Amino acid sequence: MNKNSIDMVNGPLLKNIFIFCFPLMAMNLLQMLFNAADTIVVGKFAGQEALAAVGATGSLIFLFNSLFQGLSVGTNVVIANAIGAGDHKRITKSVSSSIVMGIVGGIILAFLGLFASRFMLELMSTPGDIIDQSTIYMKIILCGSIFMVVYNFGSAILRSKGDTKRPLYFLCISGIINVLLNLLFVIVFHLDVVGVAAATIISQAIGCLMLLYTLIHENDATRVDLRKLCLDFDVVKETMRIGIPAGLQGMAFSLSNVVIQSSINSFDSSIIVAGNSAAANVENFTYIGMMAFAQATITFTSQNVGAKRKDNVKKIMWYTMVLDLSSSFIAGVLVWYFGDFLLGLYNDNPMVIANGKIRLFYVCVFLFLNGAMDIYINSMRGMGRSSLPTVSMVIGVCGVRLLWLWFVFPQFRTLDMIYICYPISWLVTTVFEAVLWIDTHKKLMNE
C-alpha cells in the first residue's frame, strides 16, 4: 500500500475516518480562508458594488460546475471500489478516463462562460449597476475553469485511496499565491473584479499542475501516463452512472439557489446583494467538517463494498453521521453568534451587516439538517446507488424551494421569507433520504 494511503477496509474504522478527514478539514478551512480573503479584499478595497458583482455570480458558476463536480464523485466511487476489489487494470483505466473527462469538461465550461454569462445574469435580474462587472468576472472564471475541473478529478483519484494530505499541500501553496496576487492586482494595480478573477485562475493553474506532476510520478496503479490518456467506455459508463445523477443533483440544487439569488436581486438593492454575498462567504466556514465527513462516507463505503465488507457500511454511516451533525451544529451556532463581527470583516456598512445576519440565522443554525441529508446521500452513492438519492434531492430541496419562492414569498416579500426555505427543504429531504437509505442498505445486505 502507498505510504499516503489508508486501509479503509481492515483497519480501525473510526480512527481511519479521523485520519482521512483531518487533512480534508484543514483543506476546507484553508479554502474558506482563501476565498474569504478574496472577498474581503474586494469588499474593502474595490467597494460595495464590486463585492456585490462577485457575489452575484456565485450560484451561476456553481451551477455550471456542478455536473463535472458530480462526475468527479463518480470517479471517486469507481476507483475506490476497484481499489477495494484489488482490480489494478480497472484502476489504471479509470484514472486515465478521469483526466480526459476533466479536460473535456473544462473546455465545455469555457464555451459556456464566453457565450452564456451575460444572458444568464440578465435572467437572474442582476442589478444594472453591477451586471457589467459580474459578466467580466464570470467570463474569466469559466474560461479558466479547466484547471479547477482537472484538479477536482485528480483530487478524487488521490482521495479514492485515502490520500487527503497531498491535496492539502497543493491547496496551501496555490491559496497563498491567490491571496498575494489578489493584494497585488486589486490594491496596487486597481484591477478590481478582473484582478480577483485573474488571481483565482493563476492560482488554480498552479495547483492543477502540482497535482498532475504528483499523479504522473505515482508508483502504483493510480499513476497517470500522459502519452496513454484515453477514454475507456466501460469506465466512463460506470462513472456517469454514479456521477451524472450526482451532478444533476448539484445542478438542481444550485438552480434553486439561482432562483433564490434572483429573488434577492428582485429587491434591486446592491446593499442586500452585498449582505447576501458576505453572509454566503461567512457561512462557508460551517461546512468545513460537514464536507470532510461526507467525503469520508462515500470513499470508505465504496472501498468496503468493493472488498465485500458489507458489514462495515452501516458502521461507517453512523460514525460519520454523528461526527457530521456535531461539527455542523457547533460551527453553525458559533458563526451565527459572532456574525456581526465576521460580516464586518467584509464590509463596514451596518445595513450590509444587518441583511447578512438574517441569512446566517436561517442557514447556519439549521445546517445540521443539511449534514444529515448529505451523509445518507453519500452512503447510498458509496453503495453504488445514485439515481434515487438524486430524485429525492430534486423533489425535496428544489421542489420545496421553488414552490416556496413562487407561491409564498410573493405574499410576504421579506428576506426572512426567502431564507427560511433552506431549513424547510433540508428537513423534508432528510426524511426522504433516511427512508431510501434503509431500503438501499437492506437490498445491499441481501445481494
Checking if the pLDDT of 304 tops 60, the result is yes
Checking if the pLDDT of 269 tops 60, the result is yes
DSSP string, 382-398: HTT--HHHHHHHIIIII
Per-residue model confidence (pLDDT) at position 311: 92
pLDDT band at 3 (very low <50, low <70, confident <90, very high): low
Per-residue model confidence (pLDDT) at position 28: 80
Checking if the pLDDT of 397 tops 90, the result is no
Q: What angle do CA 93, 203, 245 make, to 5 degrees?
A: 45
Distance of alpha carbon 325 from alpha carbon 210, whole angstroms: 34
Per-residue model confidence (pLDDT) at position 335: 93
Chain segment 346-367, per-residue pLDDT in tens: 788 899 999 999 999 999 999 9
Per-residue model confidence (pLDDT) at position 63: 77
pLDDT band at 177 (very low <50, low <70, confident <90, very high): very high
Q: Are 163 and 2 in contact (CB under 8 A)?
A: yes
Q: Are 162 and 220 in contact (CB under 8 A)?
A: no
Residue 49: closest CA among 261, 257, 192, 201: 192
Q: What's the whole-model pTM score?
A: 0.78
Per-residue model confidence (pLDDT) at position 126: 85
Distance of alpha carbon 184 from alpha carbon 245, whole angstroms: 41
Checking if the pLDDT of 1 tops 70, the result is no
Q: What is the chain's mean pLDDT, rounded?
A: 89
Per-residue model confidence (pLDDT) at position 437: 96
Per-residue model confidence (pLDDT) at position 204: 92
pLDDT band at 124 (very low <50, low <70, confident <90, very high): confident
Stronger pLDDT, 62 or 366, i.e. the higher one: 366
Per-residue model confidence (pLDDT) at position 407: 92
Q: Are 23 and 299 in contact (CB under 8 A)?
A: no
Chain segment 273-299, per-residue pLDDT in tens: 888 888 988 888 898 889 899 989 999
pLDDT band at 2 (very low <50, low <70, confident <90, very high): low
Write down the residue that cell numbers 483565482 correspond to: 200
Per-residue model confidence (pLDDT) at position 153: 94
User: Of the segments 28-42, 43-57, 186-200, 238-252, which one has the largest average pLDDT value?
Assistant: 186-200
> Mean pLDDT, to the nearest integer, of 107-119?
93
Chain segment 6-19, per-residue pLDDT in tens: 888 887 899 999 99
